[in-house]
Each structure stands twice: as C-alpha cells, then as structure tokens.
Structure 1
C-alpha cells in the first residue's frame, strides 16, 4: 500500500487526535449513538468551550461528523475514517514478526 501525501496527512491527524484522553472519551460516547454537544458536556462534566476545542480536533482529523439541528450541534463518528486508519495499520500485520534492530559493536 502506497500512502500519498494527502493520505499521510489524514492518517497523522487521525492518530494525533487519539492521543488525548478526553478525545478518546468523546469517541467512546459516540460509539453507540449520535449525541448533542450539550449531552457530551453533561456526560463528560466539561464546559462547552473545552469540549468545542476537542471536537474541532476530532472534526479536523475527520473522525467525527457534525450536523446542526436548531441551535444545537450533534456529533457522530465518521466510520469511513476509522476504516482508513484500520486498513493502514492492517498492512503491518502482513510483515509478520518484526525483530528488534541489532546494535553495532
């Protein structure tokens, strides 16, 4: 699998987004259903400005979709991006056992 510059940028953004505990909690909450930003704030016990920062990171990484209904934003997982990240990692399974590098003496 050859990764283009654009693909590598999206893959990096996706893995970078996973590097924060609060963003992982958001992803876990969205695993089973779409949620309103107010529901996420309540369940995570964080203020909306902090949550908005993390949702923007997830959205920039293409891991979540958003839609507006009335005055509220609703978020859901973008499963297509999860599949892209999963396929990227799956390519390494085909390498078999990777041995540690030998040191020069």
Structure 2
C-alpha cells in the first residue's frame, strides 16, 4: 500500500514539475534535439540563472541528463528515466517545437557558447 502511495506522490511531483510552461517546452524541445543553456536563454529570452534553475529541477528529477563537450554542458532528454513512458505519452499531445531550433540556426546562434 505504501509503495502505491509513494508512486502516486512521485508521479504527481513529476507532473507538477512539468506544469511550468518553460520546463514543459524545454522537455518537448529536448525530445528531438539536445541543447545547451545558452540556447535556452536565447529561445526563452530569460536570464541564464533562471534557465539554469529550470534545467537543474529537470535534471534533479532525472528527466534530463547532461553531457560535457569541452567546457560546455549539453542537455538531452533522459529516455532511461523511470517516468519516460509518462513523459513520452504527454509529449505526444504537444505541438512540435523544432521551429526554435530553426530560428537559432537562422540567427547563427546554434551552440553559441562562446
């Protein structure tokens, strides 16, 4: 019985985390491409510390993972996460966000960590 309650609590926490528009959009963007914080800053037009806080929450929940490329950290969707099936189902109902990537490319800002 306690395990069932714990599972419900954990799932509710994940859904609450994704109740934030910025984090939900980030997860949808990460479904098809990896991003660095500087790219999220450009897409969302908010400060780097604010974006880093969003990414940290997603990473702490296990939804996002990081890979170091030189001095930069690239974030990707953690498809091995226990909650990925729920996330995948949710993402299926959201509109594609690849236009953000296209805008970054057009502006010459794709992987713009310099």
TM-fit CA distance, 1:68: 1.8
* Whole-angstrom CA distance in 1 between matches of 2:40 and 2:87: 24
Tell me the TM-score normalised to structure 2 length: 0.62
The aligned residue for residue 74 of structure 1 is 74
- The alignment's C-alpha RMSD in Å is 2.5
Which structure 2 segments of 5+ residues have no match?
90-114
* Whole-angstrom CA distance in 1 between matches of 2:60 and 2:7: 14
* Whole-angstrom CA distance in 1 between matches of 2:26 and 2:12: 19
Secondary structure in structure 2 of the residue aligned to 1:67:
strand
Instruction: Write out per-residue CA displacement over residues 38-89 of structure 1, whole angstroms, 9 at most, x where no aligned residue.
Output: 11111121211000111111111111111222221110111233126669xx
Tell me the TM-score normalised to structure 1 length: 0.66
* Whole-angstrom CA distance in 2 between matches of 1:85 and 1:4: 19
The aligned residue for residue 91 of structure 1 is none
* Whole-angstrom CA distance in 1 between matches of 2:86 and 2:5: 14
Q: Is the 8 A contact 1:23 1:58 kept in 2?
A: yes
Select the structure of larger CA radius of gyration: 1
Which structure 1 segments of 5+ residues have no match?
88-105
